């Protein structure tokens, strides 16, 4: 296999590049697994699809699409840009869109936003998921680009209120 470890989050450079595994569960319940399927890993951008689904469930498709488009961007996943015609992120699978949909999730005293994300992801996985505090701390300490994206979103009224709590919940995913 060719490729390299992600280096934009320093802690990710510590991953063993020789680990590789695939697990599949079919619609009728058969399970297949090969390789290093028991080695924990961070899901990183895979979380974007699930968080988007949570926002759709919580706010509805029309409300989500008012703030996040569904078109390809043609730009890097971490581009600091919005659609010039709408002022929205082009889709929820780029960082700007993922930060926006994270901000659309409820953040209540009884159930803080990240606890809601954590419990929902655990339910999807049919097991209690753990979180890598070292990767979170590394991303939080170096996530200046994502903070800039969040502030851009706030300036276009895509995010309501303070940006820091939203960005920190995005980093924890």
Three-class DSSP category at 147? helix
Question: What is the per-residue pLDDT for 111?
Answer: 85
Phi-psi region at 161: left, alpha or beta (left = phi > 0; alpha = psi -120 to 50): left
Homologous superfamily of the 42-172 domain (CATH): DD-peptidase/beta-lactamase superfamily (3.40.710.10)
Neighbours of 20 (CB within 10 A): 12
Neighbours of 9 (CB within 10 A): 19
Question: For the chain, what are the domain ranges?
Answer: 42-172
d(CA 106, CA 129): 20
d(CA 62, CA 27): 29
Q: How confident is the model at residue 110 (pLDDT cuts 50, 70, 90)?
A: confident
Nearest Cα to 19, choosing from 45, 40, 47? 40
**What confidence tens digit (pLDDT) does each residue in 7-46 have?**
889 999 999 999 999 999 999 999 999 999 999 999 999 9
Question: What is the per-residue pLDDT for 68?
Answer: 98
Q: Where are the beta strands (DSSP E) in the chain?
A: 21-25, 31-35
Question: What is the per-residue pLDDT for 1?
Answer: 62
Measure Cα distances from 70 to 12, 91, 138, 159 in Å: 29, 5, 30, 17
Three-class DSSP category at 122? helix
The answer to whether 39 touches 55, Cβ cutoff 8 Å, is no
d(CA 64, CA 56): 6
Residues 6 or more apart from 19 whose CB is under 8 A from it?
35, 36, 39, 41
**What confidence tens digit (pLDDT) does each residue in 57-101 have?**
999 999 999 999 999 999 999 999 999 999 999 999 999 999 999
Nearest Cα to 159, choosing from 54, 68, 51? 68
pLDDT above 70 coverage of the chain, percent: 99
């Amino acid at each position: 296999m060719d490729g390299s470890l992600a280096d934009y989050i320093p802690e990710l450079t510590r991953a063993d590049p020789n680990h590789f595994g695939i697990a599949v569960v079919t619609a009728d319940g058969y399970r297949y697994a090969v390789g290093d399927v028991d080695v924990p890993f961070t899901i990183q951008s895979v979380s974007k699809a699930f968080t988007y689904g949570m926002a759709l469930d919580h706010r509805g498709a029309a409300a989500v699409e008012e703030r996040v488009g569904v078109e390809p961007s043609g730009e890097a996943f971490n581009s600091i840009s919005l659609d010039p015609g709408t002022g929205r992120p082009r889709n929820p699978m780029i960082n700007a869109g993922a930060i926006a949909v994270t901000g659309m999730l409820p953040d209540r005293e009884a159930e803080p936003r990240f606890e809601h994300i954590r419990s929902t992801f655990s339910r999807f996985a049919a097991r209690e998921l753990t979180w890598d505090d070292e990767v979170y701390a590394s991303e939080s300490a170096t996530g200046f680009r994502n903070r800039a994206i969040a502030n851009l979103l706030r300036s276009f009224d895509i995010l309501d209120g303070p940006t820091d709590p939203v960005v920190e919940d995005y980093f924890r995913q």
